[in-house]
């Protein structure tokens, strides 16, 4: 090897390890930056986060989504939630009770002593899992109901109003608001009435609880028809509460903010999930376990003076009536 070649070899011997070291360092830094960015985007870097929030963007192709297919499972009920028999002797009919918020409501109701009857679309695996959770609380999936929860919904991500057809809009309204009206009409003859004050579960009048959304109050530009239906649900809740006040039947609503349920990966593009939670004041999505207790309050005697009201477990997002 001539002197020039030896010089090149010597320089390469010194340069290559340094290049490798720098390359590895660069990759490590990018990985660290990416992890930090993702962690921050999902709220894990925020002080006071009580529940794990999903780290990995995921997607599903069909509405309303399957909890069985989610990579990061939603939290259904807190381990430290202790039932106090607040719904003993009650039977709740939950539409959309197989997964997400509906599953959480079913399990919370069961832990508070209620039997539960769930309705769902075609997510049989999710429904069987919810049934098992209810039975694990020592309760049954049965009917007839003394409390009705309307929770089923669909939503479709669209960037522009011109992307929506009449059929799209009608389908969303059919599930999200007409379904609520039909369920209330069907349940009304069977819900117990009470025009005088009584005590204990047997004397308690019927309850209807409707799931609205924060989008009813602040909108969501990619969920135009969904936002419209949720606004309709809030108005429907208040009007029906006034109509049924004389019967003693209470009608209330819950308007959650962004909550980690199967509907989210079935709606949003995977890339949008990284920033999805940024709209929340707490910088994180909520879990179903943080919403279920709202329904317990409204269904139990703790909420006996509440009708025509809407609770807002939305992570601190400001709303206007």
Instruction: Please list the active-site residues.
Output: 226
Query: Long-range contact list for 271-277, CB < 8 A, 24+ apart?
Result: 271/57, 272/157, 273/54, 273/57, 273/58, 274/38, 274/41, 274/42, 274/57, 275/41, 277/41, 277/42, 277/43, 277/53
Q: Can you tell me which residue has the tokens 């807002």? A: 312
CA nearest to 102, candidates 134, 137, 79, 71: 134
What gap in Å lies between CA 289 and CA 76, rounded to an integer?
5
Write out the two tokens for 19: 């290049």
**Residue 93: helix, strand or coil by DSSP?**
strand
233 Cβ partners below 8 Å, 6+ apart? 150, 176, 177, 180, 210, 211, 212, 213, 216, 253
């Amino acid at each position: 090897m001539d002197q020039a070649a030896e010089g090149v070899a010597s320089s390469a011997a010194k340069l290559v390890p340094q290049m490798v070291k720098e390359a590895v360092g660069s990759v490590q830094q990018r990985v660290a930056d990416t992890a930090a960015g993702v962690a921050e985007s999902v709220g894990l870097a925020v002080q006071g986060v009580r529940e794990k929030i999903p780290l990995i963007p995921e997607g599903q192709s069909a509405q309303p989504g399957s909890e069985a297919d989610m990579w990061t499972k939603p939290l259904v009920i807190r381990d430290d939630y202790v039932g106090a028999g607040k719904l003993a002797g009650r039977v709740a009919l939950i539409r959309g009770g197989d997964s997400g918020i509906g599953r959480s409501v079913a399990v919370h109701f069961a832990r508070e002593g209620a039997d539960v009857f769930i309705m769902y679309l075609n997510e049989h695996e999710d429904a069987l899992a919810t049934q098992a959770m209810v039975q694990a609380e020592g309760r049954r999936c049965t009917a007839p109901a003394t409390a009705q929860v309307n929770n089923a919904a669909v939503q479709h991500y669209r960037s522009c109003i011109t992307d929506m057809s009449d059929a799209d809009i009608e389908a969303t309204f059919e599930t999200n608001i007409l379904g609520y009206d039909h369920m209330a009409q069907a349940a009304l003859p069977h819900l117990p009435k009470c025009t005088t004050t009584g005590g204990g579960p047997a004397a308690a009048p019927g309850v209807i609880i409707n799931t609205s959304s924060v989008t009813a109050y602040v909108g969501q530009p990619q969920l135009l028809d969904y936002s419209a239906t949720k606004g309709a649900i809030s108005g429907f809740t208040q009007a029906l509460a006034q109509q049924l006040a004389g019967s003693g039947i209470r009608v209330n609503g819950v308007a959650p903010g962004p909550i980690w349920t199967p509907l989210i990966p079935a709606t949003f593009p995977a890339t949008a999930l990284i920033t999805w939670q940024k709209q929340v004041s707490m910088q994180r999505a909520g879990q179903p376990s943080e919403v279920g207790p709202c329904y317990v309050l409204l269904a139990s005697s703790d909420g006996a003076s509440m009708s025509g009201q809407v609770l807002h477990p939305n992570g601190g997002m400001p709303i206007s009536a």
